[in-house]
């Protein structure tokens, strides 16, 4: 440094520092590669059951280790011997590209032995687990593939192709949406949210190179979701999800039939089913019998009442909002009664008060009114259950907010597998925050 200062030569300190960092990272990757190769060699030593230069006759004939011949199917260590090393592409990690050598093992029949290195190294693995973790973290933040590609471009692993990033995210779709719950929940909530999916519409066009390509159209499809709730502990679990064609009775029957086939029924402990009262869903519940009480979601009921309220003409938007809230408060007051007898008195009072001025609202109120008060019987049967778990699908709606956030960020999905991968990731993150019990 003294000679540099004496000669007054300008120095790019940032460039010098980056060069030192590159050299240190390269040395680190070489060290990691050497350690990884040593672990693989030790694994091969365990599989063949002997050190180098030890004859196979020294190995017991009944010794079996995690290795299988691809030709004869033998798993005996006495049949195996080392066969040098096979060059492999470096393993891409967040530290950089880690070079290593993959040891080979052959069988006495001449076939290659398939080695099992467990979670350390999978067959044909090119990307390390730490990179996969970063891909999934960015995916959970609704980062686009191109933004994700740019982020990895600043790391020392180089650019990852969009197809590679897409395929790594699709691995989340392997999570089973029809997993069985450990115990049947006392309360079941079902609902559907709509998303935009791009699917071929039957038309064909030619791209710039003259190749025929299917034209995709935008289609609205529902995602049907079922949540189980344990009111004693507050635990919530997504039991099932699926993509339907619509919310017809046939689609809901198939979805609910899968739930019933998992053992979720009244005989196994299910006490209450909460839903929004959709026509197709109610028709499906006549076919799939859960043998449990049904509760009409009060939130959806009040929303339907708000839509049919008659308001005077000439009001501003703020005045309409205030008037609607004032009228809706009388209807909402019905379900706030502490006892069932009080609820009936309030119900009759509202019907007599508004049947002349708000006939549509009164008709909506009277429609399936009995299904909106099921929670009173449950409160008497289970005094320890809080009312917030018994009246609405609000807990499922909170989960749906996370799904809608991802849907809005994506705008439209190009495949069913992309939707399933997104749902599996949201469900996995949701379950990690739930209490166990």
Mean pLDDT, residues 298-314 taken together: 91
- Out of 4-13, 136-145, 383-392, 400-409, pick the least confident: 4-13
Number of residues in the chain: 437
Give the pLDDT confidence score for residue 137 in this predicted structure.
74
Q: Which of 164, 123, 120 has its CA nearest to residue 145?
A: 164
The residue ranking higher by pLDDT, 323 or 175, is: 323
- pLDDT tier for residue 1 given thresholds of 50, 70 and 90: very low
Give the pLDDT confidence score for residue 32 in this predicted structure.
87
Q: Label residues 377-400 b or e (16+ Cβ within 10 Å = b).
A: ebbeebeebeeebbbbbebbbebb
Mean pLDDT, residues 411-422 taken together: 83
Mean pLDDT, residues 263-267 taken together: 88
Mean per-residue pLDDT over the chain, rounded: 86
- The number of beta carbons lying within 10 Å of the beta carbon of residue 39 is 14
Strands (E) located in 160-255: 187-206, 212-230, 235-243
- The full set of domain ranges for the chain reads 25-115, 129-173, 185-432
- The number of beta carbons lying within 10 Å of the beta carbon of residue 230 is 19
Give the pLDDT confidence score for residue 425 in this predicted structure.
83
The tokens describing 424, both together, are 């599996």
As a whole number of angstroms, the distance between CA 227 and CA 236 comes to 7
> 15 pLDDT exceeds 90?
no
- pLDDT tier for residue 7 given thresholds of 50, 70 and 90: low
Long-range contact pairs involving 45-53 (C-beta distance under 8 Å, separation at least 24): 47/77, 47/80, 47/105, 47/113, 47/115, 48/77, 48/80, 48/81, 48/82, 48/105, 49/77, 49/78, 50/77, 52/82
Give the pLDDT confidence score for residue 382 in this predicted structure.
93
**Top mean-pLDDT range of 53-67, 68-82, 123-137, 240-254:** 240-254
**Top mean-pLDDT range of 152-156, 172-176, 378-382:** 378-382
Asked whether the beta carbons of 238 and 226 are under 8 A apart, the reply is yes
Who contacts 343 (Cβ-Cβ below 8 Å, separation ≥6)? Answer: 334, 335, 337, 373, 376
Q: Which of 230, 225, 224 has its CA nearest to residue 271?
A: 230
> 359 pLDDT exceeds 90?
yes
The residue ranking higher by pLDDT, 49 or 374, is: 374
- Out of 26-35, 141-150, 173-182, 339-348, pick the least confident: 173-182
Give the pLDDT confidence score for residue 125 in this predicted structure.
82
- The number of beta carbons lying within 10 Å of the beta carbon of residue 282 is 17
Q: Which of 393, 186, 178, 355 has its CA nearest to residue 278?
A: 393
Distances, alpha carbon 317 to alpha carbons 303, 313, 329, 361, in Å? 18, 11, 18, 20
As a whole number of angstroms, the distance between CA 110 and CA 72 comes to 9
Who contacts 280 (Cβ-Cβ below 8 Å, separation ≥6)? Answer: 246, 247, 248, 249, 251, 252
- pLDDT tier for residue 329 given thresholds of 50, 70 and 90: very high
Give the pLDDT confidence score for residue 88 in this predicted structure.
82
Q: Which of 226, 387, 229, 358 has its CA nearest to residue 298?
A: 387
Give the pLDDT confidence score for residue 187 in this predicted structure.
95
> Counting beta carbons within 10 angstroms of the beta carbon of residue 214, is it exposed (0 to 12), middle (13 to 18) or buried (19 or more)?
exposed
* H or E segment to which residue 26 belongs: helix 13-48
* H or E segment to which residue 104 belongs: strand 101-107
Sign of CA dihedral 351, 357, 361, 366: positive
- Could you tell me which residues are beta bridge partners of residue 93? 96
**Top mean-pLDDT range of 126-135, 194-203, 249-258:** 249-258
Q: What pLDDT, in 10s, does the model give residues 336-357?
A: 999 999 999 999 999 999 999 9
- pLDDT tier for residue 33 given thresholds of 50, 70 and 90: confident
Give the pLDDT confidence score for residue 181 in this predicted structure.
46
- The number of beta carbons lying within 10 Å of the beta carbon of residue 181 is 16
As a whole number of angstroms, the distance between CA 16 and CA 22 comes to 10
As a whole number of angstroms, the distance between CA 163 and CA 145 comes to 9
Asked whether the beta carbons of 227 and 399 are under 8 A apart, the reply is yes
* H or E segment to which residue 115 belongs: strand 113-115
- pLDDT tier for residue 60 given thresholds of 50, 70 and 90: confident
């Amino acid at each position: 440094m003294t000679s540099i200062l004496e000669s007054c030569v300008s120095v790019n300190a940032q460039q010098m520092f980056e060069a030192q960092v590159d050299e240190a990272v390269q040395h680190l990757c070489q060290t990691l590669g050497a350690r990884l190769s040593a672990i693989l060699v030790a694994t091969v030593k365990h599989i063949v059951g002997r050190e180098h230069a030890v004859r196979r006759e020294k190995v017991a004939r009944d010794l079996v280790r995690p290795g299988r011949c691809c030709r004869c199917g033998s798993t005996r260590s006495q049949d195996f011997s080392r066969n040098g090393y096979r060059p492999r592409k470096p393993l891409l990690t967040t530290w950089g590209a880690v070079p290593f050598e993959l040891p080979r093992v052959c069988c006495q029949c001449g076939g290659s032995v398939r080695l099992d290195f467990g979670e350390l190294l999978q067959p044909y693995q090119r990307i390390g687990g730490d990179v996969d973790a970063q891909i999934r973290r960015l995916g959970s933040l609704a980062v686009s593939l191109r933004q994700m590609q740019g982020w990895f471009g600043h790391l020392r692993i180089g650019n990852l192709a969009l197809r590679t990033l897409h395929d790594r995210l699709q691995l989340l779709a392997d999570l089973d949406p029809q997993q069985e719950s450990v115990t049947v929940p006392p309360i079941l909530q079902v609902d559907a949210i709509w998303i935009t999916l791009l699917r071929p519409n039957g038309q064909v066009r030619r791209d710039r190179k003259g190749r025929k390509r299917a034209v995709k159209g935008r289609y609205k499809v529902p995602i049907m979701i079922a949540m189980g709730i344990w009111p004693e502990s507050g635990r919530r679990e997504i039991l099932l999800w699926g993509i339907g064609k619509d919310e017809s009775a046939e689609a809901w029957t198939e979805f609910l039939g899968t739930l019933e086939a998992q053992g979720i029924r009244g005989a196994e402990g299910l006490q209450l089913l909460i839903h929004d009262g959709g026509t197709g869903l109610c028709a499906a519940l006549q076919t799939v019998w859960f043998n449990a009480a049904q509760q009409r979601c009060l939130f959806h009921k009040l929303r339907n009442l708000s839509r049919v309220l008659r308001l005077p003409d000439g009001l501003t938007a703020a005045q309409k909002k205030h008037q609607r809230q004032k009228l809706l408060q009388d209807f909402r007051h019905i379900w706030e009664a502490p006892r069932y007898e009080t609820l009936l008195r309030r119900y009759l009072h509202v019907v007599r008060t508004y049947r002349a001025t708000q006939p549509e609202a009164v008709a909506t109120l009277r429609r399936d009114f009995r299904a909106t008060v099921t929670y009173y019987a449950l409160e008497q049967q289970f005094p320890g259950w809080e009312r917030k778990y018994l009246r609405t699908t609000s807990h499922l709606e909170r989960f749906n907010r996370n799904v809608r956030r991802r849907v809005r960020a994506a705008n439209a999905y190009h495949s069913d597998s992309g939707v399933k991968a997104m749902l599996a990731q949201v469900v996995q993150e949701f379950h990690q925050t739930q209490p166990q019990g």
